[in-house]
Amino acid sequence: MVEIKIEKPIQITQRVSMHSHIRGLGLDEKGKAVKVKDGLVGQVKAREAAGLVVEMVKEGRMAGRGVLFVGPPGTGKTAIAMGIARELGEDTPFVAISGSEIYSSEIKKTEFLMQAIRRTIGVRIRETRSVYEGVITEVNYDFERNPFMPYAQIPVGARITLETEDDKASLRVPEEIAQQLLKLGVKEGDYIEIDEETGHVRRIGRVKGKTKTSYDLGGPRLVEMPKGSIKKVKETVHTVTLNDLDMMAVMQRAAYTSLFGFLEVEKEVSPEVRKAVDEQVKKLVEKGRAEIVPGVLFIDDAHMLDLEAFSFLTRAIESEMTPILILATNRGMTTIRGTDIESPHGIPLDLLDRLLIIPTEPYSEDEVREIIRIRADEEEIPLTEESLDALTRIGVSKSLRYAVQLMEPAKIIARRKGRSKVDTDDVEDASKLFADTKTSLDLINAYSDKLLK
């Protein structure tokens, strides 16, 4: 078994996210939404509108504009925003923040937003590297308890088997690569590439005939079985962000000052550093070794922003180098934060006039069922048809998010009973232990005289 060692550790802690199944907007060649495709279900009008946004971006016609998703909670606003990023390319940077995150005691609001913007502007760099590539035919992770969270487990390595038409190899990879495999949701049938020096993992696509899930993972992103040897030297393309380069420059300055007896890392990046980074990137672009990749900055709960933040974003979307700005809110008429001014969605009219507004609507029962089925496949939770029916009823009567959150506890309950599949009584047992919002409010009202006020 070959063992891969990397020189530059990459720290990634995220596993499967709530929207890890999103592969695109699920549109056909005419821009019409397919009912179930690319991990998206329903929201036909919103997805088709998002498809037009993608076309405008590709044609360079989004300058001075942004997008606003408006709809009730749990109607797919974040999922469609991520679908836009996926349609623009697998390596398109996607940064999701909440409007409340900008209020930090360490850095200014505008600095936080500037860093978020530069995290969504990628630099695609071409280099000649030694890589391992092939289709995954087996992957097994080694887990240990998280030293900082004793009840959670973290991957400490993995054993994978890669195949091509002409070669086959088993690799033991370290923690950094295992974390990336989990974050990308790599499964059997995925065609991946691992940089031998840095350990960077890139998922190229799904090999035809290897898909085992019951839904369409990626439509046109199916690829042929790779040929040649597992290990090879080839020209690779990887994407870093302007903010990554900013932070590297800041750390280099800090390392220089440490030579004189002190080490101080700046929390805010100075305009001089950003200007120097931009000049270096410009030289790489002029030499043909790099290209700029505008990404997506998604700000959820946009009504939490204040006038200063809105003013900064209004100017930012009109600049030459800016990402696609997508805001989302579930508010109607409300006051702009920090003022007594009422405005639609809590957003100033001068910025609202620059936004393409896309509404989302509640899901139907059939759509709730399909979303739960997709999440179960993505999280590898086997459901019986009866348990799927039970979760669908919960999703319709209570909330989709609550139904999805019950799946993992129900899986553990089923395992304790010696079953490999989650059944209806497992879902019912989980729902008795974990309350939804309405039940929680009922309990608060029932014990109001005993609760602190």
The pLDDT > 90 percentage for the chain reads 36
DSSP state of 222: E
The least confident of 52-61, 79-88, 211-220, 402-411 is 211-220
pLDDT digits (tens, 9 = 90+) for 348-400: 999 999 999 999 999 999 999 999 998 888 888 999 999 999 999 999 999 89
8 has a pLDDT exceeding 60: no
Give the pLDDT score at 221.
64
147 has a pLDDT exceeding 80: no
Radius of gyration of the chain (CA): 24
The mean pLDDT value for 126-142 works out to 89
Q: Read off the tokens for 412.
A: 């553990």
Q: Which residues of 226-244 are buried (b: 16+ CB within 10 A; e: fewer)?
A: beeebbbeeebebbbbbbb
Give the pLDDT score at 252.
77
Q: Which residue has the higher pLDDT, 264 or 150?
A: 150
Give the pLDDT score at 124.
87
7 has a pLDDT exceeding 60: no
Structure confidence at residue 15 as a pLDDT band (50, 70, 90): very low
263 has a pLDDT exceeding 60: no
Residue 228 vs residues 138, 203, 305: alpha-carbon distances, Å: 19, 18, 53
Give the pLDDT score at 205.
86
Give the pLDDT score at 45.
94
Packing angle of the helix pair 424-433, 385-397 (nearest 10 deg): 40
Q: Helix, strand, coil proportions of the chain in percent (round to 5)?
A: 35, 25, 35
The mean pLDDT value for 417-425 works out to 93
The pLDDT > 70 percentage for the chain reads 89
Give the pLDDT score at 5.
56
pLDDT digits (tens, 9 = 90+) for 273-299: 889 998 999 998 988 888 888 888 999
Q: Which residue has the higher pLDDT, 450 or 387?
A: 387
Domains of the chain: 2-16+126-238 (2.40.50.360), 43-120+295-359 (3.40.50.300), 365-443 (1.10.8.60)
pLDDT digits (tens, 9 = 90+) for 178-192: 989 988 888 888 999
The mean pLDDT value for 213-223 works out to 52
Give the pLDDT score at 11.
38
For 124: left if phi > 0, alpha if psi spans -120 to 50, otherwise beta; the answer is beta
Q: CB of 134 within 8 A of CB of 190?
A: no
pTM of the model: 0.68
The mean pLDDT value for 11-29 works out to 64
Arithmetic mean of pLDDT over the chain: 84
Tell me which amino acid residue 40 is: L
The mean pLDDT value for 59-71 works out to 86
Give the pLDDT score at 4.
60
The least confident of 124-138, 203-217, 393-407, 421-435 is 203-217
Whose structure tokens read 């009567």? 397
Give the pLDDT score at 235.
78
Structure confidence at residue 270 as a pLDDT band (50, 70, 90): confident
Structure confidence at residue 423 as a pLDDT band (50, 70, 90): very high
171: which strand partners? 2, 160
355: which strand partners? 66
pLDDT digits (tens, 9 = 90+) for 305-327: 999 999 999 888 887 777 889 99
pLDDT digits (tens, 9 = 90+) for 221-256: 678 888 899 998 887 777 888 988 888 888 877 665
Give the pLDDT score at 253.
72
Structure confidence at residue 13 as a pLDDT band (50, 70, 90): very low
